[in-house]
Amino acid sequence: MFAPLLGKPGSSKNNKTGSWRSFLKPKYLQKNCIACGLCKLICPESCIEGKEKNTFRADLAYCKGCGLCSQICPKKDIEMIKEQE
Ligand code: SF4
Ligand code: SF4
């Protein structure tokens, strides 16, 4: 019944959020990480990978640059930097 109103279903892979990220992106320093996993837990895009200390990183193809990961990191190991850097 609603089919004419809906477009074709897309997936996050087809609609990469990185194409409209804010002017900031996270830089994982990978120096003081304690593998607490908080950044991974809070990321609204679920685009953070990593398990061991100093291995966490964001997949920028999906990151929106919201900065939540940087804010929550207890070791200040994630910097938000300008997109060009
Ligand atoms: S800036 Fe936001 S969207 Fe990007 S990795 Fe961090 S929490 Fe996820
Ligand atoms: S929040 Fe910080 S310390 Fe915790 S896993 Fe992420 S980068 Fe490592």
**Does residue 1 lie in a domain region?**
no
Which H or E run includes 72? helix 68-72
| Cα 43 off chain centre by | 6
- From the list 80, 51, 59, the residue with the least C-alpha distance to 68 is 80
**Does residue 46 lie in a domain region?**
yes
**Does residue 47 lie in a domain region?**
yes
Q: Is 63 in the pocket of ligand 1 (CB under 6 A)?
A: yes
Whole-number pLDDT of residue 83: 86
Whole-number pLDDT of residue 13: 53
Domain with 64 in it: 30-85
**Protein residues with CB under 6 Å of any ligand 2 atom:** 33-39, 56, 72-75, 77-78
Whole-number pLDDT of residue 16: 60
Domains held by the chain: number: 1
Residue 74: give its domain's CATH number.
3.30.70.20
- From the list 71, 41, 29, the residue with the least C-alpha distance to 49 is 41
Burial of residue 13 (CB within 10 Å: 0-12, 13-18, 19+) is exposed
- Confidence band, pLDDT 50/70/90 cuts, at residue 7: very low
Contact partners, residue 59, CB within 8 Å, separation at least 6? 47, 48, 49
Is the pLDDT confidence value at 69 over 60? yes
**Does residue 9 lie in a domain region?**
no
Is the pLDDT confidence value at 32 over 60? yes
